[in-house]
Chain A
Amino acid sequence: MGELLASLMRGLGTGGVYAMLGVSFVIIYRATGVVNFATPALMILGAFFTGYFGVSIGLPFIVSVILAMIVLAAIGLASERIALRPMVGRPAFSAATVTVGLFIVFLVLAGRLLGSELLIVNDPFGLNTLDVLGARIFTVDIARLIVGLVAIGLVGLFLTRSRTGLAMRATAFDQETSLAQGINVGRMFGLSWGIAAAMAALAGAMLVAGSSGVETTFALVALKALPVIILGGLDSIKGSVVAGIIIGIAESLTRTYQPQFAPWLGANFDVIVPYLIMIIVLMVRPYGLYGTKEVVRV
Chain B
Amino acid sequence: MSSATSKSRHTTRGRPRLYTNYASEMAIFNTGAKRLWILIGFFALVILPFLLDRDMVSLGAKVLIFAIGGIGLNLLTGYAGQVSLAHAFFLGIGAYTAAVLGGEARGGVIGLGWDMAIWLPLAGLVPAIVAAVIAPLAARVRGLYLAILTLGLVFIGEHIFKEAKPITGGAGVGRAPAEPVFLGFDLFANYEVFGIEIDRYTMLFFTCLVIFVVMALLARNFTRSRFGRSFAAVRDRDIAAEVMGVSLLRTKTLAFAISAFYAGIAGALFSIVIGRISPETWNFFLSVDFLAVIFIGGLATITGSIMGAIFVVMLPQLVNALTRYLPIDPGVGGGGLLNVFELQSIIFGVLIVVFLIAEPRGLYGLWLRVRNYFKAWPFSY
Contact = CB atoms under 8 A, between A and B. Distances in A.
A65 to B, nearest CB: 27
Given A230-B148, A275-B152, A94 B349 contact: no
Given A35-B148, A296-B239, A108 B353 contact: no
A90 interface: yes
Contacts of A243: none
A298 interface: yes
B151 A267 contact: no
Contacts of B143: 92-93
Interface residues of B, number: 37
A87 B357 CA distance: 6
A275 B85 CA distance: 14
Residue among A104, A278, A286 facing the most chain B CB atoms (10 A cut-off) = A104
B156 interface: yes
Contacts of B284: 220, 223
Interface string B313-355: 0000000000000000000001000100010011011111100
A227 interface: yes
B141 interface: yes
A112 B349 CA distance: 15
B356 A98 contact: yes
B206 interface: no
A101 interface: yes
A138 to B, nearest CB: 26
Contact of A101 (B156, B162, B353): B353
B171 to A, nearest CB: 8
A272 B159 contact: yes
A214 B145 CA distance: 30
Nearest to A269: B159
A104 B151 CA distance: 16
A63 B156 CA distance: 39
Contacts of A107: 345
Contacts of B155: 223, 271-272, 275
A234 to B, nearest CB: 8
B288 A104 contact: yes
A282 B360 CA distance: 30
A182 interface: no
B189 interface: no
Given A98-B357, A101-B349, A276-B156, A267 B163 contact: yes
Interface in A211-230: 220, 223, 226-227, 230
Contacts of A256: none
A102 interface: yes
A298 B240 CA distance: 8
B151 A223 contact: yes
Contacts of B93: none
Contacts of A271: 155, 159
B349 A278 contact: no
Interface string A87-114: 1001011101110111111011101100
A137 B334 CA distance: 40
Residue among B153, B155, B334, B345 facing the most chain A CB atoms (10 A cut-off) = B155
Contacts of B342: 108, 111-112
A130 interface: no
A133 B144 CA distance: 45
A115 interface: yes
A254 B73 CA distance: 34
A109 B337 CA distance: 11
Interface in A13-56: 34-35
A149 to B, nearest CB: 25
Contacts of B350: 101, 105
B144 A105 contact: no
Contacts of B141: 282, 286
Given A86-B357, A266-B163, A35 B144 contact: yes
A252 B352 CA distance: 37
B140 A282 contact: yes
A94 B352 CA distance: 10
B105 interface: no
30 contacts: A35-B148, A86-B357, A87-B357, A90-B360, A94-B360, A96-B144, A96-B147, A97-B352, A98-B352, A98-B353, A98-B357, A101-B349, A101-B350, A101-B351, A103-B349, A104-B345, A104-B349, A109-B346, A223-B284, A226-B152, A230-B148, A265-B163, A268-B159, A271-B155, A272-B155, A275-B156, A279-B152, A282-B148, A286-B141, A298-B239
- A-B interface, 6 closest residue pairs, ranked by CB to CB distance from nearest: A104-B349, A101-B352, A266-B163, A275-B152, A105-B349, A101-B353
Given A90-B360, A107-B345, A298-B239, 19 more contacts: A35-B147, A35-B148, A83-B353, A87-B357, A90-B356, A101-B348, A102-B353, A104-B345, A105-B345, A108-B342, A112-B342, A116-B334, A223-B284, A226-B152, A266-B163, A272-B159, A275-B156, A279-B149, A282-B149
